[in-house]
Amino acid sequence: MSKEPSKLPTHNAYFNHDPQVEYFAVYDKGNFIDKNTNEPIQLKEGAFVRIVVANVFVLQKDFPQHNQRQEVEVFQPGEKFYFTLETKTDIYKFFLKNLEKIKLVKIGNKMPRFQYTSCEIYHGEDGSKQSLKDFKTIHASSFNEAFTRVSEKYRQGASAHTCNVYTTFFHVEKGRVDVIREALL
């Protein structure tokens, strides 16, 4: 591995994911020390950080806040979403609706997660917005399964058929699902 400084990417063309950096660090005297460099980690102001530690390192007084469960109903049955799927020859767009209420569940300080919901992919179109002639409605037990089933059909040569639901799916009226989730925090 080169020790030459490199310029980090600030965007990613794959489904608009923001590239991330991962640190392995130890907490020492009020600082996080990078295990690779043995230096304190310094970030830009306003950086959003997710800290994951084993329960044995959490102070007893903080345990109650890490076990508290909150639920908020976010989407009613029948709300419409879409996602795109890129192949070597085209960019497809698929529309689906949830068949059940979707709740946002937050446990302690963990990032909130949407409950699984059955859904129906009811329409698919190509990059020129023409309906896919061979498309048939697909029922799935979750948004993840919906993406996987569509990807397996339309990206047969792909080595993986998974996605991050929060950055790949969009609510037709409200926008990207991760932005909706963050607004509810």
What integer best gives the mean pLDDT of the chain? 87
76: tokens are 């009613």
| CA 158/CA 150 separation, integer angstroms | 12
Give mean pLDDT, residues 10-27. Answer: 68
Predicted confidence at residue 12, as pLDDT, reads: 44
Segment 4-11 long-range contacts (CB within 8 Å, at least 24 positions apart): none
26 domain residue, yes or no: no
59 domain residue, yes or no: no
31 domain residue, yes or no: no
Please give the DSSP secondary-structure letter assigned to residue 128. Answer: T
Give mean pLDDT, residues 118-134. Answer: 94
Q: What share of the chain is helix, strand, coil (3-state, %, to 5)?
A: 20, 30, 50
| CA 101/CA 150 separation, integer angstroms | 23
25 domain residue, yes or no: no
19 domain residue, yes or no: no
Predicted confidence at residue 15, as pLDDT, reads: 46
143 domain residue, yes or no: yes
87: tokens are 């192949």
127 domain residue, yes or no: yes
Domain of 139 in residue numbering reads as 69-183
Condensed to tens digits (0 to 9), the pLDDT of residues 36-84 reads 999 999 999 988 888 888 888 888 888 888 888 889 999 999 999 999 9
pLDDT over 60 at 11, yes or no = no
What is the total count of domains within the chain?
1
27 domain residue, yes or no: no
pLDDT over 90 at 18, yes or no = no
